[in-house]
Amino acid sequence: MRTFAFVVAAALIAAPAMADEQVIKLKQGAGLDKVEGNCQACHSLAYIPMNSPFLNAAGWDAEVTKMIKAMGAPIDDGDAKAIADYLKANYGG
């Protein structure tokens, strides 16, 4: 019973924060499905437009590589290329 009460209390506390979460709509383009399917599994897609003023093509390539090699994102080579190409084409490159 205590566990149930804790879960209910946690849900009630978290609900207002989730209600305020902003929906991020990225630009349409080839590879968007790979970005949505891989990137938002670990973090908000808001990071993409937020970082776009600071990253060029080489920067986006480095970010995708960092997410895979340093952060351990389970993204295969084909998806990684599609993600990097999408980011470079739509968010600074």
**Biggest CA-to-CA distance, the chain:** 55
Q: What average pLDDT does the segment 51-76 reach?
A: 96
Residue 13 has a pLDDT of 62
CATH number of 26-90: 1.10.760.10
Q: Which residue has the higher pLDDT, 12 or 64?
A: 64
State the pTM of this model.
0.76
Domains in the chain: boundaries = 26-90
10-43 per-position pLDDT tens digit: 555 655 555 566 789 999 999 999 999 999 999 9
What b/e string do you get for 1-35 counting C-beta neighbours within 10 Å, with b at 16 or more?
eeeeeeeeeeeeeeeeeeeeeeeeebeeeebbebb
